[in-house]
């Protein structure tokens, strides 16, 4: 399993990075990104610490640990600036918290996250075909999620992404150890979202490409 959207105690997760990585390792993970919630108040504090932890943990663990960030619930005009700042600080996977139907995300966040060039737009809710087409053009991956609440719109996201030719990835948005899933479970989630069998391996390959790109950055 490659999981590019998870949270630690640095935001609202239950575990410190070391324990999250250890549990992911025992669950058979190949790679994990630590992408805590951030805005202008904490990005400078969290990213350097996640970068340090990810470097040490990658060296001494059997999986790749990628430092990241999830830009969350911020005003639209700040999203691009925060994506850039997180990257300058060392985040190699930058997620923008999309317009999930489970939270009052600011309308227009999906478009702003795509225009900012995020790596992943997480749980983008009822994303429009126009925004999905822009994501396809800009190379921004749309997330299919196993996270309760956010996953309610997986079917819409998958259908719209396939119509627009947008890249998809599957992540857990883990906040606690029980949120981690196996690759087999991820495949079930993709099937339930309406992904045809021949598209499942493509989605797993999309995650691997992001891991490879993060390693080159």
Could you read off the pLDDT of 166-215 as tens digits, one per residue?
999 999 999 999 999 999 999 999 999 999 999 999 999 999 999 999 99
Distance CA(120)–CA(144), nearest Å, equals 10
Segments in the chain below pLDDT 50: none
Residue 66 CB neighbours (<10 A): 25
HEC letters along 32-57: EEECCEECCCCHHHHHHHHHHHHHHH
Residue 69 is predicted with a pLDDT of: 98
- What lies within 8 Å, CB to CB, of 60 at 6+ separation is none
Helix axes 154-164, 129-138, angle to 10 degrees: 60
Q: Would you say 142 and 132 are in contact if contact means Cβ atoms under 8 Å apart?
A: yes
Q: Provide the CATH number for the domain around residue 159.
A: 3.20.20.140
Query: What is the domain count for the chain?
Result: 1
Evaluate if pTM is beyond 0.75.
yes
pLDDT at 216: 80
Full residue range of the structural domain in which residue 142 is found: 2-216
Quote the pLDDT of residue 157: 98
């Amino acid at each position: 399993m490659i999981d590019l959207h998870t949270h630690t105690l640095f935001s609202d997760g239950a575990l410190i990075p070391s324990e999250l990585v250890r549990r992911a390792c025992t669950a058979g993970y190949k790679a994990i990104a630590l992408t805590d919630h951030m805005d202008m108040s904490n990005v400078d504090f969290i990213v350097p610490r996640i970068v340090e932890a990810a470097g040490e943990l990658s060296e001494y663990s059997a999986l790749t640990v990628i430092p990241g960030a999830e830009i969350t619930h911020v005003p639209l005009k700040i999203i691009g600036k925060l994506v850039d700042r997180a990257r300058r600080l060392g985040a190699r996977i930058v997620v923008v918290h999309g317009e999930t139907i489970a939270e009052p995300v600011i309308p227009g966040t999906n478009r702003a996250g795509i225009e900012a060039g995020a790596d992943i737009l997480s749980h983008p809710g009822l994303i429009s075909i126009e925004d999905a087409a822009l994501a396809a053009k800009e190379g921004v991956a749309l997330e299919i999620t196993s996270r309760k609440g956010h996953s309610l719109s997986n079917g819409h996201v998958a259908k719209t992404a396939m119509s627009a030719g947008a890249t998809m990835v599957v992540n857990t948005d883990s906040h606690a150890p029980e949120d981690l899933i196996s690759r087999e479970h991820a495949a079930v989630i993709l099937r339930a979202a309406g992904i045809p069998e021949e598209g499942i391996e493509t989605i797993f390959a999309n995650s691997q490409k992001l891991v490879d790109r993060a390693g080159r950055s």
